[in-house]
């Protein structure tokens, strides 16, 4: 059974300057809650009850957010106090996503675990969460590594990890981080929900800096594919990437449109 989730939230947020000069991008709002709150809810609603958030310099607001506040009962429907304990660890230096995952090794302690990115939010189109469905697929596939995928437009392949997949067996053949469109093996993108076994740490430890001179999780997955079976699974929902200014604004408007309390505001905008 999978119980543990790692949520990396240690990136610099440079694409959001000046918004992120004094607050982490994971604290940007999606209408009435910060992005990180949705990510933690996705984990909890998927049955994960041990959560580690990887933070770094300037990310203290994320830690403070999960404290219990006197005003919670008065102002919040989604009660922070009912969330399970959340652990935090600081990435010492910004060396990339793969490096940040390494800080989870003691926390996962040999167990298989989910990784959910701190800047990616899901809305399921089924009755289970996107992550629960991925966990179901992982159980069907003998508990091997499994990666959530979605089709993206060709012009977006250079924003994401892109995989080559055997459609008959759902096995990933290779993965490449943010390829140029003319070398992209497909338009199937890594959405940012992964289930790993403990062996991923070994591949991360052997990484050399990749795209943008950072240690890339996609490169570790690519190496893992050479030695073991890695499955890909198209997610059963919509992924909202909060990683860039335009995608965050678009996500905000979609969440506003779907919000029962505040959607009327859109009709009043001239």
Asked if residue 239 lies in contact with residue 161, where contact means CB atoms within 8 angstroms, the answer is no
Total residues binding ligand G1P (CB under 6 A): 16
Rg (CA), the chain: 18
Q: Which is nearer to ligand G1P, 120 or 124 (CB)?
A: 120
How many Cβ atoms sit within 10 Å of the Cβ of residue 154? Answer: 11
Query: How far apart are alpha carbons 106 and 57 in whole angstroms?
Result: 21
Minimum distance of ligand G1P from residue 264's CB (angstroms): 31
| Cross-strand bridge partners of residue 237 | 124
Please give the residues from 28 up to 67 whose contact with ligand G1P meets the rule CB under 6 A: none
| Helical (H) or strand (E) element with 246 | helix 245-257
| Cross-strand bridge partners of residue 239 | 122
Please give the residues from 212 up to 241 whose contact with ligand G1P meets the rule CB under 6 A: 216-218, 241
Please give the residues from 67 up to 96 whose contact with ligand G1P meets the rule CB under 6 A: none
Cis peptide before 201 (omega within 30 of 0): no
Minimum distance of ligand G1P from residue 152's CB (angstroms): 9
Q: Which is nearer to ligand G1P, 112 or 177 (CB)?
A: 177
Query: How far apart are alpha carbons 146 and 75 in whole angstroms?
Result: 38
Q: Which is nearer to ligand G1P, 46 or 262 (CB)?
A: 46
Minimum distance of ligand G1P from residue 104's CB (angstroms): 16
* 242 scored as a contact of ligand G1P (CB under 6 A): no
Q: Which is nearer to ligand G1P, 46 or 216 (CB)?
A: 216
Q: Which is nearer to ligand G1P, 94 or 259 (CB)?
A: 94
Please give the residues from 142 up to 161 whose contact with ligand G1P meets the rule CB under 6 A: 160-161
Task: Record the tokens describing residue 240, joined without a space.
Answer: 């909202």
Task: Record the tokens describing residue 175, joined without a space.
Answer: 């993965």
Query: Binding marks (x or -) toward ligand G1P, 158..187, rule CB under 6 A?
Result: --xx---------------x----------
Query: Binding marks (x or -) toward ligand G1P, 92..131, rule CB under 6 A?
Result: -----x-------------------x--x-----------
* Region of residue 263 (left: phi > 0; alpha: psi -120 to 50; beta: else): alpha
Please give the residues from 2 up to 31 whose contact with ligand G1P meets the rule CB under 6 A: 11
Residue 140: CA count within 13 A, CB half-sphere: 12
Q: Which is nearer to ligand G1P, 139 or 206 (CB)?
A: 206
| Residue 182: DSSP 8-state | G
Query: How far apart are alpha carbons 19 and 16 in whole angstroms?
Result: 5
Query: How far apart are alpha carbons 221 and 115 in whole angstroms?
Result: 13
* 189 scored as a contact of ligand G1P (CB under 6 A): yes
Binding site for ligand G1P (CB under 6 A): 11, 97, 117, 120, 160-161, 177, 189-192, 216-218, 241, 243
């Amino acid at each position: 059974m999978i119980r543990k989730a790692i949520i990396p939230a240690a990136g610099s947020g440079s694409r959001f300057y000046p918004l992120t000069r004094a607050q982490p991008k994971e604290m940007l709002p999606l209408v009435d809650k910060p992005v990180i709150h949705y990510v933690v809810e996705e984990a909890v609603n998927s049955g994960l009850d041990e959560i580690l958030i990887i933070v770094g310099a300037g990310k203290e607001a994320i830690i403070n957010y999960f404290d219990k506040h006197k005003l919670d009962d008065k102002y919040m429907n989604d009660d922070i106090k009912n969330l399970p304990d959340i652990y935090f660890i600081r990435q010492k230096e910004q060396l990339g996503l793969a490096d940040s995952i390494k800080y989870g090794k003691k926390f996962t302690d040999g167990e298989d675990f989910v990784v959910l990115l701190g800047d990616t939010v899901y809305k399921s189109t089924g009755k289970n969460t996107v992550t629960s469905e991925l966990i179901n697929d992982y159980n069907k596939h003998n508990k091997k590594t499994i990666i959530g995928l979605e089709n993206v437009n060709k012009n977006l392949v250079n924003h994401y990890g892109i995989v080559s997949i055997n459609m008959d067996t759902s096995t990933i053949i290779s993965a490449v981080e943010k390829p140029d469109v003319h070398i992209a093996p497909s338009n199937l993108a890594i959405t940012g929900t992964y289930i790993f076994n403990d062996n991923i740490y070994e591949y991360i430890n052997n990484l050399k800096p990749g795209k943008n001179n950072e240690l890339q999780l996609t490169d570790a997955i690519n190496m893992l594919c050479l030695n073991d079976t890695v499955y890909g699974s198209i997610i059963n929902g919509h992924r909202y990437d909060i990683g860039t200014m335009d995608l965050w604004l678009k996500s905000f408007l979609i969440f506003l449109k779907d919000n029962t309390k505040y959607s009327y505001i859109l009709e009043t905008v001239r």
